[in-house]
Amino acid sequence: MGWLFAALLIVMLLTGINYQNSLIFLLTFFLGVVFVAAMHQTHSNLSGLELTLIHAGEGYVGDSIPFLFRGSAGKHDNLALTVGVEGASQGSRLVMQHVRPESSSDMRLVVTATERGYLLLDRVRIETRFPFGLLRAWSWLRPQTTAIVYPKPLLPPVPVDHGVSGDESGIVTQAPGQDHVEIRPWRQGDLLQRVQWKRFARTGEMAIAEWHGEQGNPDWLDFASFPGVDTELRLSYLTALVLERDKSGEAFGLRLPGQDVEPDGGPAHTQRCLRVLALFGTNGRNSDREAA
């Protein structure tokens, strides 16, 4: 817009010269000087602002992840600020906010997550075009706080057996922390992977091993129970299952290669599991950054 405006001023100047019109000169000079003054206005409209990322949200891949910024103004107004993220990979929606002198106001920047793990905003660009929209002043912010993106929940197409390793020995594997096992006949509604297939081969009767412990009826969600499936997809399945368990209020544990989450229930547990799923396999550098 600024270039267009400059072009307009030049055309006006030519008109003024050609028709020896002093008033067009006057108008051109006035607008030109206002243009220069607007540079300072626009700049000072941004200066003195302190922008902090105060909260990074969490969400699933494909979701919009909110980042909450807080802008605190110095001595003058910081009007019509917009916050955006650079780069096409992190499509961002823009917000417009005014910060009055000596006060602060919060701005929500929403970013669409494309992959699980830590979501670090690349470069956040805060800019303003106030007052006339002809010029832009901007500044960069590289927030170090990351959002966490969980895998996109996908229900597994068919329930997959997850007790394989336990059944091979013919003995029902005892999960740690469980006291004893009770064998009961299969009934409608039991997951197929809980059927003791070895026992079925021997006796021809479908039976279910039910563990009784302090946590009642724990259920292990295991990374290994989707053989041949891509890691990301497994994580998606597990995420869906975690959410399902969370909904039904069942206690469950999560078993990932090299990382177990003890069976438990409640929102805090669910979130912990989701985080583990989100961060599975991500290198430590990201978490380092988070610490910084």
Residue ranges that bind another protein, judged by CB under 8 A: 1-5, 8, 11-12, 14-34, 36-41, 43-44, 47, 77, 79-80, 82, 84-86, 92, 94, 96, 98, 100, 123, 125, 127-136, 138-142, 144, 292
Nearer to another protein, 30 or 155 (CB): 30
Nearer to another protein, 132 or 197 (CB): 132
- Phi, psi for 191 (deg, rounded to 5): -65, 140
Would you state the structure tokens that stand for residue 99, as one six-digit string? 């910060």
Instruction: Please measure the distance between the N-terminal and C-terminal CA atoms of the chain and give it in whole angstroms.
Output: 40
Instruction: Give the CA distances from residue 148 to residues 59, 122, 210, 268, 290, in Å, rounded to whole numbers and listed in that order.
Output: 7, 14, 35, 15, 10
- Measured between alpha carbons, how far is 264 from 34 in angstroms, rounded to an integer? 66
Nearer to another protein, 51 or 274 (CB): 51
Nearer to another protein, 144 or 217 (CB): 144
Q: How far is the CB of 119 from another protein (least distance, A)?
A: 17
Q: How far is the CB of 148 from another protein (least distance, A)?
A: 21
Q: How far is the CB of 69 from another protein (least distance, A)?
A: 14
Q: How far is the CB of 5 from another protein (least distance, A)?
A: 7
Q: How far is the CB of 106 from another protein (least distance, A)?
A: 15
- Measured between alpha carbons, how far is 55 from 57 in angstroms, rounded to an integer? 6
In this structure, the number of other CB atoms found within 10 A of the CB of residue 125 comes to: 18
Task: Please name the residue ranges forming H helices in the chain.
Answer: 2-18, 22-46, 164-168, 197-203, 231-248, 267-279, 284-291
Nearer to another protein, 12 or 274 (CB): 12
